Structure 1
Amino acid sequence: MRRWRVAAGQLASTDDVQHNLEQACRLVAEAAEAGARLVVLPEATMVTFAVPVGPHAEPLDGPFAEALREAARRHEITVVAGMFEPADDGRVHNTLLLTGPHAEATYRKVHLFDAYTTTESETVAPGSDYVSVEVDGVRVGLATCFDVRFPDQFTELGRAGVEVVALTASWGDGPGKAQQWDLLTAARAHDSQAWLVAAGQAWRPDSIRKPLGIGRSAVVDPTGAVRARLGGAPDLLVADLDLDLVERTRAQVPIL
């Protein structure tokens, strides 16, 4: 049996990038100490959506990204975390950095959150490509928050051979939002027929007005069954994935 230990780190980003980085590095260390090979941190790990993110954006070789790379190298673990990098048109990219001893990749959020009372596209430029990368012999796909409402992205990742999808989020609260998150994460794991490791920002009272976090980080198996879930508070979720279940599921129900 091929087993792979992963972690989802649930934190509450603030407007202080250095404080957020310290939170992130602490979760990276805790995940590595628990034996995880991959730790997924939330969308907007760098800085909260409660403030304009543009002034905090940094290039991929800036201090925030370099500090995450150093933490990943030091603890010999692969890290996925949400940050913001400057775009060519004056906006920013909502970017996932995947970094570790043997892998490096970036994913720029494709599906922007122009919904409810938020228009992400006013300040964020969309990416154009779905991304997957091999980590420790395991193909990992990347997705961010509102992407979870678009089944085609997860189907394409499954067809690309992805065995684990790292989904990061800063989900809003409100009527039906927790149920939607639970439903969509389960459905997208089923669509990709891959393990889904979903890491969200922790819940806070202001989440009812802005997409600042609802918690509920989860690990979902390739059939859509939830194997573990956190509550609303900052925490670390560690789980062992049976990677052979991906092949078995795809053989039994060949939807891809």
Structure 2
Amino acid sequence: MSTGPRPPQRPAVRVTVAQLEVGTDRGANLLAARDALRTAGRARSDLVVLPEYASAFDPRGVGVELAEPLDGPFVTMLRRAAAEHGLAVVAGTILPGGAAGADGQPRAVNAVVAVGADGEVAGVYRKVHLYDAFGHRESQRLAPGPADAPPLVLDVGGLRFGVLTCYDLRFPEVARRLVDAGADVLLVPAAWAAGDLKAMHWRTLAVARAIENTAAVLAVGQAGRGVVGRSLVVGPDGVVGLEADDTPQVRTVDLDAEELRAVRERNPSLTHRRYAVVPRV
């Protein structure tokens, strides 16, 4: 997480959105992620964003059987590829070591890892809001992250990227806390579960988070069984500039730092707010 002075902003920051199809075969998932990073490198991207659970996923539930540590094969590959291609990476993974639940069974942690262009781990966000909704029960397999952990904000090319994941999108205070920490862009890796109205919710919430925070939103979904895909890039004015379908794909966009500044000047709603976001622990 950056706390120092902001570096000069470039005219644009290039970001690759990797909407991957992920399964339980961790080796295959690693290769797909590596290919996406190579594509981003060829595009001369500054940042690549992979979905939630990019290391492994089972739509029936994800737990300790799919977890691996930060020094395991998946994050090690992210670090090597980031350094090789000179780009930052944000990707969802599953970590071991979550506190056991009330049933005494071990839990994993749903995490998003940020890696700098130097190949070093810049931060880890552990998902606060577990998806116990619409018939799903993430808390049966996962332990939540601490609500009062410092926000994860990554500096790339003079823009600040704040990290949340999937179900967090339904909680506007999460995004606002990241913006309070200096985020210009909100990154939302997700494996957004399919179902009635779910794709509509995904799009509507991503646009709402952009408008209310005058921040760009990159909502990067998984493709495949049980999830909606439909990754979005939303401008700080709420205009959708990129919208994928439900198939695997890798897309690259340029984020205009001057556009962000101009939108916030025209719409200074962040400076008009009268309430603060305080974590409930």
Provide the TM-score with structure 1 as the length reference.
0.92
CA deviation string 1:90-117 (max 9, x = no partner): 2111000111224611111111101011
SS at match of 2:269: coil
Any stretches of 5+ residues in structure 1 without a counterpart? 208-212
Q: How does 1:106-185 map to 2 (within 5 A)?
A: 106-128=124-146, 129=149, 130-185=151-206
- What amino acid maps onto 2:248 in structure 1? P
Native 8 Å contact 1:163 1:246 kept in 2? yes
Native 8 Å contact 2:221 2:231 kept in 1? yes
Runs of 4 or more consecutive aligned structure 1 residues displaced over 6 Å after TM superposition: none
CA deviation after TM superposition for structure 1 residue 35, in Å? 2.0
Native 8 Å contact 2:153 2:161 kept in 1? yes
Q: CA RMSD in A?
A: 1.5
Match of 1:239 among 253, 257, 262: 253
May I ask how many residue pairs the two structures share in their alignment? 249
Aligned twin of 2:221: 200
- What amino acid maps onto 2:87 in structure 1? I
Larger radius of gyration: 2
Q: Residue 35 in 1 paired to residue 44 in 2?
A: yes
Match of 2:111 among 81, 95, 117: 95
SS at match of 2:193: coil
SS at match of 2:204: helix
SS at match of 2:23: coil
- What amino acid maps onto 1:197 in structure 2? L
CA–CA distance in structure 1, aligned partners of residues 223 and 32 of structure 2: 12
Q: Residue 44 in 1 paired to residue 62 in 2?
A: no
Q: How does 1:16-31 map to 2 (within 5 A)?
A: 16-31=25-40
CA–CA distance in structure 2, aligned partners of residues 192 and 108 of structure 1: 22
CA–CA distance in structure 1, aligned partners of residues 142 and 244 of structure 2: 29
SS at match of 1:59: coil
Aligned twin of 2:273: none
- What amino acid maps onto 1:37 in structure 2? D
Aligned twin of 1:224: 238
CA deviation string 1:186-221 (max 9, x = no partner): 1111233211111110143xx1xxxxx211111101
CA deviation after TM superposition for structure 1 residue 234, in Å? 0.5
CA deviation after TM superposition for structure 1 residue 137, in Å? 2.6
Match of 2:210 among 189, 193, 201: 189
CA–CA distance in structure 2, aligned partners of residues 88 and 196 of structure 1: 29
CA deviation string 1:128-172 (max 9, x = no partner): 233212223321100100010011111121222211211111011
The change in CA–CA distance for 1:67 and 1:24 in structure 2 (over 3 A counts) is: same
CA–CA distance in structure 2, aligned partners of residues 225 and 22 of structure 1: 33
CA deviation after TM superposition for structure 1 residue 46, in Å? 0.8
- What amino acid maps onto 1:126 in structure 2? P
Q: Residue 105 in 1 paired to residue 123 in 2?
A: yes
The change in CA–CA distance for 1:166 and 1:52 in structure 2 (over 3 A counts) is: closer
- What amino acid maps onto 2:109 in structure 1? H
Native 8 Å contact 2:63 2:107 kept in 1? no
CA deviation after TM superposition for structure 1 residue 88, in Å? 4.1
SS at match of 2:164: strand
CA–CA distance in structure 2, aligned partners of residues 158 and 133 of structure 1: 12
Aligned twin of 1:210: none
Provide the TM-score with structure 2 as the length reference.
0.84
CA deviation after TM superposition for structure 1 residue 65, in Å? 0.8
CA–CA distance in structure 1, aligned partners of residues 44 and 117 of structure 2: 15
CA–CA distance in structure 2, aligned partners of residues 132 and 52 of structure 1: 26
